[in-house]
Amino acid sequence: MTAGFQLDALDLAALLCSRVCHDVINPVGAIVNGLEVLEDEDDASMKAFALDLIKKSSRTASARLQFARIAFGAAGSAGSSIDLGDAENVARGFIQDDKVTLKWSAPRVFMPKNKVKLLLNLLVVAGSTIPRGGSIDARVTGDAEAPTFDILALGSHSRIPAGLTSLLAGEPESGTLDSHAIQPYYAGLISRAASMAVRVQAVDGGVRIGATPA
C-alpha cells in the first residue's frame, strides 16, 4: 500500500544529509578540539589527553560514516546484495558503546541490499526506544530472500517514541518531517521497497521490533 503522505525527493535527500551530518558532527568537532590542544598546549598530560580524544573520535566518526554508507547510501549498484557479516561490523561500530550493548544472531549470508538497509535502520529505531541505554538483541532467521527480523531493545525508561508507528507507516502525525523524524520515516520507505511489514510493540522492560515478508 502506498502511503498518502508524499515527500519531495529533494527534501528527502536534504533531510537524510542533515541526519548523517548530525551523527558525525560531534566526533569531528572533538577531533578539531583535540588538534587545537596539541597545537596550543605544552603540558605532556594535556597532549596525551588530546591524542586519546583524537583517536577515539576518529574511530567514532569512521564507524558512523561506514554505517551511514550502508544504512542510508547506495552501498553498491542497484540490485546488489550485502554480506550480513559486514552489516554486523558496521552495526557494532555505530551502536555499541558505553551505554548500549548489541547482541547479534544472524547467518553469514548475502542478503538483498534493501533488506539489509532495513535491518540497520530498525536497529537505529530500536536504539531510540532506550534513551538511557541498555541492550539490543537482533536476530535474523529464515531464507535470505524472505528473512524475518526480530529486534528486542531492553533498558530502563524504555518507551515507544511518540509518532514512531505513524512515521514507519509513512504518515507523520504532524504532516511534516524534520531531521529527527526522517530516520524512522526512511525506515518505513525501505520496508515497503523491501516488501516487508514492520511491527512495534511494548514488552516487559523494553520494546520489540519485528519485520516479516509482506
* pLDDT digit string, tens, across residues 170-208: 999 988 899 889 999 999 999 999 999 999 999 999 999
Phi-psi map region of 76: left, alpha, beta (phi>0 left; psi -120 to 50 alpha)? left
Q: Is the pLDDT of residue 77 over 70?
A: no
Q: How is residue 43 annotated by DSSP?
A: -
Domains of the chain: 9-20+79-213 (3.30.565.10)
- Whether the CB-CB separation of 15 and 182 falls below 8 Å is answered with yes
Say what the pLDDT of residue 2 is.
46
- Whether the CB-CB separation of 50 and 34 falls below 8 Å is answered with yes
